[in-house]
Amino acid sequence: MDVSLFRKLAERLDRSTEDMIELQRKLTATPALSPKNGGKGEWEKARIILDFLNAIGFDSIEECNAPDPETPEGTRPNIVAILHGENKERTIWIMAHMDVVPPGDLSLWKGDPYQLRVEGDKIFGRGVEDNQQGLVSAVFAFKALKEEDVIPPYNIGLVLVSDEETGSEYGIQYLCNNFDIFKREDLIIVPDAGNREGDMIEVAEKSILWIKFTTKGKQCHASTPGEGVNAFRAASHLLVRLEKLHGIYDRIDPVFDPPESTFEPTMKQANVENINTIPGDDVFCIDCRVLPDFDLEKVIADIRDIVAGVEKDFGVTIEMAFPQREDAAPATAVDAPVVLALQTAVKEVYKVEAKPMGIGGGTVAAFFRRNGLSAAVWSRMEDTCHQPNEYCKIPYMVGDAKVFAHVFLQE
């Protein structure tokens, strides 16, 4: 790689800091909320982005819009922009999303969540980190290439999608199902998760299984417990017995953090309103994050065996519902080209050794991986996503753009 050329790009990106903040300002002032979150979709924001991309001068910009009758336009926007490289057999992609989540309780914000606020090296506003940091960093890395008249070794592509916050049906899932855009030899970077050090490259995810248990007994007065069947007591024993899952699924995989499968009790619904009534119904939930080499059907079968034991011992019936189930996608190899390229770039820009890791949460990279495509999730961020007073650190926004520029120049 031409080191002097990278330094020129890095210097240009440093000089572009105020312009990056200004683009963040425009995007923040244009809420892009899914109809499921009470919004009109992403089109107003997409038009600002399209104007910006057209001014850069991409070799091609395609709109791959997903039909959605819930929006005023009847579609949700997805943008695919490409700059041609010397070798057109491979494309280095960066995928970011345009939609944001609602601000939540406005009283918790120090200012208007849709008016950008700059304080020191931070910019505040809904969406500035999730996912405008990655979006803006990527756009300006592309812009720096054009301004320096650089033809990269390979094609570089930008994919900006809708609907990431509410399931991706109208975003990357729609693109993967309906368009032949990505090839197996491509490198795909998703700058939508990370840590403060920038040394985590997400390459794998655990399976997700949410279970809602409804225990049904018989309500009665607490002074005559023999007249009823205490659903709360049975549910409590069920919860304790579910601890056996940690022993059954005890494999440790150091790629993940935490390195084991987890089975955590979470939501507990109210049962009765007064102390002197034995509840006839009880509802609680658990959140399971299971290492990908375990079959969720086996996990469910083992849980059903535990449930059957509690039903027999306490004379209750227990219903199981599954609000969410997401089987883990195949992992990206720890030595995949996209991982190695990011490791090289992160070391050059941030002077840290980035490690491939697995996480318990889910990301849109799973859609790529299920289609046989290697994708890595990386960004350097404070992880204030979805919080009141969400912020993005300006040095991270600029630094991430340098990382992307470095990846673009690698042969």
Same domain, 197 and 279: no
CATH number at residue 184: 3.40.630.10
pLDDT in tens, 142-180: 999 999 999 999 999 999 999 999 989 999 999 999 999
**Quick one: which of 99, 237, 94 has its CA closest to 163?**
99
Q: Which of 262, 295, 326 is the last residue of a domain?
A: 326
Match 């912020």 to its residue by tokens: 391
What is the end-to-end Cα distance of the chain in Å, rounded? Answer: 7
Residues 6+ apart with CB under 8 A from 335: none
Catalytic amino acids?
A: 99, 164
Strand 187-190 with 200-205, pairing: unpaired
- 316 within 8 A of 231, measured Cβ to Cβ: yes
Same domain, 281 and 367: no
Is the preceding omega at residue 131 within 30 degrees of 0, hence cis?
yes
The DSSP output letter for 329 is P
What stretches of 212-260 show up as alpha helix (H) in DSSP? Answer: 231-241, 244-248
Same domain, 195 and 243: no
CATH number at residue 279: 3.30.70.360
pLDDT in tens, 31-48: 999 999 999 999 999 999
Same domain, 46 and 195: yes
pLDDT in tens, 80-100: 999 999 999 999 999 999 999
The predicted pLDDT at position 341 comes to 98
Same domain, 221 and 366: no
Q: Which of 295, 326, 357 is the last residue of a domain?
A: 326
Confidence of residue 224 (pLDDT cuts 50, 70, 90): very high
Q: Please state, in angstroms and as integers, the Cα–Cα distance from residue 225 to each residue in 228, 229, 278, following that order.
A: 6, 7, 7
Same domain, 72 and 25: yes
Same domain, 88 and 232: no
Residue 39 neighbours by CB distance under 10 Å: 19
- 11 within 8 A of 154, measured Cβ to Cβ: no
The predicted pLDDT at position 360 comes to 87
On average, the pLDDT of the chain sits at 96
Same domain, 73 and 175: yes
Range of the domain at 371: 3-204+329-409
Same domain, 212 and 106: no
pLDDT tops 90 at residue 257: no
- What would the two tokens of residue 76 be? 């949700």
Query: Containing H/E element for 319?
Result: strand 317-326
Q: Which of 326, 347, 364 is the last residue of a domain?
A: 326
Confidence of residue 1 (pLDDT cuts 50, 70, 90): confident
Same domain, 246 and 268: yes
The predicted pLDDT at position 195 comes to 95
Q: What's the pTM? A: 0.87
Residue 354 neighbours by CB distance under 10 Å: 23
Mean pLDDT value across residues 4-16:
97
Mean pLDDT value across residues 356-375:
92
pLDDT above 90: percentage of residues in the chain: 98
pLDDT tops 90 at residue 239: yes
Same domain, 239 and 223: yes
pLDDT in tens, 116-126: 999 999 999 99
pLDDT in tens, 44-68: 999 999 999 999 999 999 999 999 9
SS3 content of the chain, % helix, strand, coil (to 5): 35, 25, 40
The count of domains in the chain is 2
Same domain, 32 and 104: yes
Query: Containing H/E element for 173?
Result: helix 172-178
